[in-house]
Amino acid sequence: MQLLATALFIGLASCQLPTAKLGQGTFRGTTTAVSVGPTSSVTVEKYLGIPFAASPVRFAPPEPAPTATDEQDATQLQGVCFQQFSYPEAIHNFTQQVFNRPPPNETEDCLTVNIFTSSGNTTGKSVMVWLFGGSLNFGGNAVKTYDGSSFAANQDVVVVVPNYRTNVFGFPGMVEGLDPDERNLGFLDQRAALQWVQDNIEQFGGDPTKVTIFGESAGSLSAGLLVLTTPQNPPFRAAILQSGTAGLLPRQVSAPGGVTAFSKLGQALNCTGGDTLACIRAAPGLKIKDLIEKQSIAFGPVVDNVTNPENPIALRQERRIADVPILLGSTAEEARVFVTIYAGGRNVANLTNYLATTFKDPAVRERVSAAYPVGPGGPFPTEYDAQAAIWTDLQWTCPALKEANLSASSGYPTWRFYFNASFPNTQTFPNGGVYHSSEIPLVFGNLPGAPQPPPTDEERALSDAMQTIWANFAKNPTAGPGWDAVQPGNVHNLGVLGGPQNSTGFATVSSNVTDSRCDILVQGAAQGGPSTPTGPSPSASSAAAMSLKIPGEDRGSMVAVSVAVFAAVIGFATQLL
């Protein structure tokens, strides 16, 4: 009798689970109750691991998802695409500690999407598609921080989180045998996911005409490239760019680094025959992952003029990009995590070496050093603090200024934010401050708990405020986030999220405050910075003026990393140590 009752209970519970009927089949999701106040909650439907494409053929573009006749289970998170956390071991371990906890399962059959929507018969909801970061080397939709339940419950939007291929599986480079238009496979995966959203999101209560793309780091780079490369009928109507500016990506039509990387992988796999591509295609995926990590073989996007344009500045100035409102910004102390990564997880730095490898001209180094004075009682008590600040400004703050001005001067509605809040439970490493990616838990409302300290009231309030700002922008992009838009060529106000004077919402501050050292850095890099990667560069002045060299040995042209290639900073720079 007890067995019968248990079976009956399970059967009834199964019947109560939500389902979505799509062209590719019917998918059974699950539900969760999300607290939205002291005494109320909202039920959110979660559909996890729905394929938006077929299981991918290695180094081939995504194909449509197959049709299933049986009801498919979508109640459990599925694997992410193969990730790359490059060595040395200290960097490998620390990067995972910050960006990959707890580690999700990894698989090559990874082109799936997670969907979060509040229960009920409501239709016409705004849709927010999240593109995760991870240097185009790692990341995935099974990361718990990217659970969209809180966002969907609090803001009544549909949150969509797709996977896409990264590292060599997503960006093999300029490889003989691959179609020139089909080499940035990770970007093609993102496009396939957005098309799937257009075709299917109504079944989850969403409106396909009300899609906003948003992302952080490599996800922001990806969203920015989508804006640049879909001028006609873009599958979104707004974009939110967190800590990433695709418009300043250095242009490389030829990519010797990519060819060398693929050849190096072939050699490591003993692909000594004539067809390296076929040999690598046949190798076990886990073996490839192990080799590219332990040998720190770096891969990244190439110019194809489909997903990654040769001349983004001209496209914007000539208004040949998606005509959508943009909200972009960065965090106050982005680079603290990267300075710590390259010190093997320690809060130490050698400012003299850093300046010497970043700025060749001694006079430039002196001016930059004077702008970031090290000493007790000042804003930069240690060399670590100064190096992190220079790196943050050079690679994030100043490019955000540049991108905002370019966008606004070309006639696109543009707003800029500045995240400046740090809480004990978001410190994944000591003295992290307002580091790169630290705003994501607040955007998603997934505030860390035990074993971390519990969220503070201020943290919860700021998270609520940020969710509201992000969602309201998605619901009515032309209205903006609540502060003034960037005015072309003028000093503008930024919306500051958090900070000592504004812990529970946003205030505004002049760009003169946040960008006060940008002229020194840009001029310094142009006059005495490292050489940029080889290849045609229609935007050479801006790219060269904002390039950065990672401290360490010079091991080739990839030593110079443009500030806009923040998305590849881990994968490329680990070769340079």
Query: 30 - beta bridge partners?
Result: 46
Closest CA relative to residue 561, chosen from 340, 394, 333, 438 = 394
In angstroms, rounded to a whole number, what is the distance separating the alpha carbons of residues 564 and 577? 20
Q: What secondary structure, in 3-state letters, does 418-444 show? A: EECCCCHHHCCCCCCCCCCCCCHHHHH
Structure tokens at 233: 């009928």
3-state secondary structure of 75: coil
Q: How many CB atoms lie within 10 A of CB 288?
A: 23
Q: Can you tell me which residue has the tokens 């185009």?
A: 136
Q: Name the catalytic one among 217, 330, 537, 547.
A: 217
DSSP assigned state of 396: I
Q: Are 343 and 335 in contact (CB under 8 A)?
A: no
Residue 341 structure tokens: 């990564």
Name the residue among 27, 569, 4, 64 with its Cα closest to residue 342.
569
Residue the block writes with tokens 């986030």: 481
Burial bucket for residue 293 (CB in 10 Å: 0-12, 13-18, 19+):
buried
Give the strand order in the sheet containing 25-28.
19-22, 25-28, 72-73
CA distances from 512 to 40, 101, 503, 508 (A): 43, 37, 21, 12
Cβ contact 324:255 at 8 Å: no
User: Is 334 tagged catalytic?
Assistant: yes
217 noted as active-site residue: yes
Of 216, 293, 334, 383, which residue is the catalytic one?
A: 334
Indicate the burial class of 106 (C-beta count within 10 angstroms; 0-12, 13-18, 19 or more). middle
Q: CA 154 → CA 17, 33, 197, 469, 569, distances in Å? A: 21, 11, 21, 12, 34
Give the number of other CB atoms < 10 A from CB of residue 10: 10
Q: How far apart are CA 245 and CA 224, in angstroms?
A: 7
The answer to whether 390 touches 379, Cβ cutoff 8 Å, is: no
Residue that has been written with the tokens 């001028």 in this structure: 231
DSSP 487: P
Per-state percent for the chain, helix, strand, coil, to nearest 5: 40, 15, 45
| 292 three-class SS | helix
Rounded to 5 degrees, what are φ and ψ at 242? -105, 110
Among residues 53, 303, 371, which one has the least CA distance to residue 195? 53
**What is the rounded distance in angstroms from the CA atom of residue 219 to the CA atom of residue 224?**
8
Identify whether 88 is preceded by a cis peptide bond (ω within 30 of 0): yes
Nearest to 210 by CA among 247, 163, 155: 155
d(CA 518, CA 400): 11
3-class DSSP state of 240: strand
Catalytic residue annotation: 217, 334
